[in-house]
Amino acid sequence: MLERLTCREKEILLLRVTGYTRPDIAEELGVTVSTVKTHLESIHRKLKVSNQVGLVNKAFELGIMKSTEN
């Protein structure tokens, strides 16, 4: 499923699920908030999630994020 994402989308996904806000991501990458929003909409569509919670859950499912529980 991750192979559907562009390199930029993967970069934005990682930042988003680690707690960066849209403005934070825009500043970090030197793009506009509108551009970040467009990428996030594409990410949501490609990963078939509808909100931030779904995005984080999908990140765990795909192994992008690891649980800190033992």
Residues 3-22 pLDDT 10s: 889 999 999 999 999 999 99
35 or 62, higher pLDDT? 35
- Write the CB contacts of 58 (distance below 8 Å, at least 6 apart in sequence): 1, 47, 49
Kindly indicate whether the domain formed by 2-61 is annotated with CATH number 1.10.10.10: yes
Scan for tokens 């030197």, then name that residue. Answer: 30
- Write the CB contacts of 41 (distance below 8 Å, at least 6 apart in sequence): none
Confidence at residue 43, expressed as pLDDT on a 0 to 100 scale:
96
Confidence at residue 2, expressed as pLDDT on a 0 to 100 scale:
77
- pLDDT band for 1, please (50, 70, 90 cuts): confident
Structure tokens at 4: 């559907």
Rounded CA-CA distance 31/67 in Å is 30
